Amino acid sequence: MSCAISVLMPVLNGDFTHLSEAINSILEQSFKDFEFLIVDDGSNQKTKHFLADYAAKDTRIVIITNPTNIGVGNSLNKGLESAAGCYIARHDADDIAHPQRLAKQFAYMEANPDIVLSCTSVNHIDMQSNHIGGYPVSTDSDVLEAELLLNSRLCHPSLMFRTTKIRENGGYPVTKSAQDYLLYLKSLKAGFKFGGLDEPLVDYRINTESITRKNRGKQLSTAQAGSYEHVTRLVGGIDQQAFERFWFFVATQGQSDLRISDLKTLRPLLRFIQQNPAYYQAWKGSFRYVSRNALEHRFSPGRLFIALYFRYKY
């Protein structure tokens, strides 16, 4: 049976308190025309019973069970294949959706038929669900596209997209990490437009034990490779090693090394950013902050030159 939204949440064991908060936050949405696809990616028996108890109480919950662990990308694609909703709303097993999240995002997507994917601002919460900050999202499609040049600033659990468009474009890339960023780049390559609601509609849990944080190095490497491919589509061929140093310099907030010679080698990319207003707006603050932070982290003449370069060029 078709519905407006399929909420898609992969689960692999986890904390039952957080999982309850995550599930309840969807079941208590003001918007009612949805199905809740929970993909159990080879969880233990306690988690299976926990999910089955919830499904027995609410018919909107559909449990998709993987006999063995197949990974997040494959699990998301299984949910995408099964989805009956016109839209997919991503949700994670330790995050909390605000009661109006589905209603407001659905209304936004309906009012903007050219937008294929949208995200919202988020609140950050700790392991005890205490509010510890937040992160905004741009409402400008050009800026959102520009922000994806080097990494993702979009919160994946706040994502909503048009099911048919993403399904026809091949769904999620099947990698062991950075599936969200690679999906965004794949969508940009297909010409899909992004939108943003600058209203916090998700509480995003900062979990130091999450799979993402445990695999941080692998995630960064996967994202860097995706970014390089994306950048070369935009500006043409550039030296891969120089780009890799530059990418990690930005990603680590100046804690890795960038060579002065890399600035010359990467001139096509840096000029592209300077000459495109949306890209300049998206990255000038980051470049200034990162280069200044690098200098404060460890002084050297080279780091001073790089900090001055970004200070006066951006």
Given a cut of 70, whether residue 271 has pLDDT beyond it is: yes
Given a cut of 90, whether residue 207 has pLDDT beyond it is: no
Section 235-247 average pLDDT: 97
pLDDT confidence of residue 177: 87
CA distances from 19 to 192, 209, 211, 246, 313 (A): 32, 15, 15, 38, 47
Average pLDDT, the chain: 95
Query: At 87, which helix (H) or strand (E)?
Result: strand 85-90
Section 174-179 average pLDDT: 89
pLDDT confidence of residue 176: 83
Summarised one tens digit per residue, pLDDT across range 10-50 is: 999 989 999 999 999 999 999 999 999 999 999 999 999 99
> What percent of the chain clears pLDDT 70, i.e. is strictly above it?
97
Q: Which residue is it, tokens 């589509």? A: 233
pLDDT confidence of residue 215: 65
Section 292-306 average pLDDT: 94
Q: How many CA atoms lie within 13 A of 219 on its CB side?
A: 17
Summarised one tens digit per residue, pLDDT across range 133-152 is: 998 999 999 999 999 999 99
Given a cut of 80, whether residue 208 has pLDDT beyond it is: no
The C-alpha atoms of residue 155 and residue 29 are separated, in whole angstroms, by 19
Q: Which of 124-133, 191-200, 275-284 has the lowest mean pLDDT?
A: 124-133
The band of 311, judged by pLDDT with boundaries at 50, 70 and 90, is very high
Long-range contacts of 110-114 (CB under 8 A, 24+ apart): 112/195, 114/193
Q: Please give the DSSP secondary-structure letter assigned to residue 157.
A: G
Section 281-288 average pLDDT: 96
Q: What is the pTM of this model?
A: 0.94
Nearest Cα to Cα of residue 231 among 114, 60, 239, 25: 239
pLDDT confidence of residue 209: 61
> What percent of the chain clears pLDDT 90, i.e. is strictly above it?
93
